[in-house]
Structure 1
């Protein structure tokens, strides 16, 4: 595992070194493209100025992610258990992702105001689709022979779902969770552009309007860190649950 991580780390370090040397050699102004050392200096020096923005975005991301995942799972289970409903609503599920969030955001402000509701709706819209589709696919890929065997053994539909279909769909569910986890951070940042008082999106907007490009990159850096952190948490939960099931099955 450690050996495999050396390759991406080496590539990232190589890019940073080239970026730093290019900024110095070509004397690129900081307001156009600051050097990595300048970005890190601002990140350390300005921590007191933007830490509350980061914590606000984390809180909003967690709320939106949990709500989006819950809605996605409920939709997926309902569509799986009711095939006719799946035939009727699945195309609408696909169409919901064709609406640009940037276009929808102003309408949400008009309908729900500048409070928490429109922000959560945006995060839910970008989070629920990956988990819903992944769960539906995972449930549908259950081995039909095993389903037939359980029916022959007298298992009820509830037992088939909880004992066979849902456990079988866990890898697909976690695949959707990984995508939703990264989307949730971006959804939170986009929602903060609607007019929030704090958050990484607000910090980025203020930095951009004042031509503080270094602060814009600081915001981008922490967005990437949060995405990787949420992604790593999902991977850790996946390994824990899947390993637990393997140990249980012997």
Structure 2
């Protein structure tokens, strides 16, 4: 049989076997295998926490018991939810702005070496400046409203987005670009069909880092000047030596970061099913 005939054979022809996708039971088993280790580590940390509190190895006003923290989470659920929503809103808005501006900046930098050489040192300088040090300036300039918190979240989340996007756009196979140019593709067609899709795996890697940093940025802004949000809750609890509330605020803040990370992870899986790390099915020959 000729090579051309082989290339035209359908996937379900004799000699070609398509491996079926995993069943629901297999997915559950895989999820359990992937999650039992972090769950076991979390359980061990809770046990250590409980032992320290029960044995009074550390004073209760320094490290509250898990029970006292849980009691705050349940009895003050409404209060915590109100401030959690504020922090989540600031985080999401700051993250969205960072993604839009970061992607646009990366595209411009990749297509203009002059812009890249001009902007890259500035971006690096802005990244290494401690945001907690300049946050009071934003409060002075923008007031005690939501704007300073969003701005700090943008500044913290922006750098991972732009760096990952630049890396992705530059990682395209040069032969693919030469092929598209040979076939007469216009620059915007090459970007839409080749460069941008190829950069998405790198971009999502940066997004997963950026979304967790955006939570930190929003909370840092609330530390400096705010009357609502989890940063405000943590700051007030620290001033009043209310460590159960302090730990509750920290747990909720961590939960926000974990949930947003998982959301980005799910979006990556849905949008990039073609990527090698996301493939569940494959075609294999039986010759």
TM-score interval w.r.t. the shorter chain? over 0.9
Out of 197, 217, 222, the residue aligned to residue 187 of structure 1 is 217
Deviation at 1:213, TM superposition (A): 0.6
Deviation at 1:48, TM superposition (A): 2.3
Deviation at 1:4, TM superposition (A): 1.6
**Corresponding position of 2:242:** 212
SS of the residue corresponding to residue 211 of structure 1 reads coil
Considering only CA atoms, is the larger Rg found in Structure 1 or Structure 2?
Answer: 2
Deviation at 1:225, TM superposition (A): 0.4
1:67-120 CA distance string (max 9 Å, x none): 111111111111111122112211111111111111101111222222222222
**Corresponding position of 1:125:** 155
Structure 2 residues not aligned, in runs of 5+: 1-30
Q: Name the CA distance, whole Å, in 2 between partners of 1:44 and 1:15.
A: 21
Q: Name the CA distance, whole Å, in 2 between partners of 1:83 and 1:166.
A: 18
CA contact (8 A) 1:204 1:219 kept: yes
Q: Name the CA distance, whole Å, in 1 between partners of 2:151 and 2:203.
A: 21
CA contact (8 A) 1:114 1:194 kept: no
Deviation at 1:26, TM superposition (A): 3.0
**Corresponding position of 1:222:** 252
Q: Name the CA distance, whole Å, in 1 between partners of 2:123 and 2:58.
A: 47
**Corresponding position of 2:11:** none
Deviation at 1:196, TM superposition (A): 1.5
Report the TM-score when normalising by structure 1.
0.95
Runs of 4+ in 1 over 3 A off after TM superposition: 244-247
CA contact (8 A) 2:207 2:264 kept: yes
CA contact (8 A) 2:153 2:214 kept: yes
Deviation at 1:62, TM superposition (A): 1.1
Matched, 1:78 2:103: no
Matched, 1:234 2:264: yes
CA contact (8 A) 2:53 2:64 kept: yes
Out of 116, 121, 125, the residue aligned to residue 91 of structure 1 is 121
Q: Name the CA distance, whole Å, in 2 between partners of 1:188 and 1:115.
A: 12
Matched, 1:47 2:73: no
Bigger helix fraction: 1
Out of 2, 6, 9, the residue aligned to residue 39 of structure 2 is 9
- Listed as ranges, the matches of 1:30-179 within 5 Å are 30-179=60-209
Report the TM-score when normalising by structure 2.
0.83
Deviation at 1:244, TM superposition (A): 6.2
1:177-218 CA distance string (max 9 Å, x none): 101110111111111123222100111111111000111100
**Corresponding position of 1:202:** 232
Q: How many residues align?
A: 248
Q: Name the CA distance, whole Å, in 2 between partners of 1:231 and 1:28.
A: 33
**Corresponding position of 1:25:** 55
CA contact (8 A) 1:30 1:214 kept: no
CA RMSD across the alignment = 1.6
Q: Name the CA distance, whole Å, in 2 between partners of 1:245 and 1:29.
A: 51
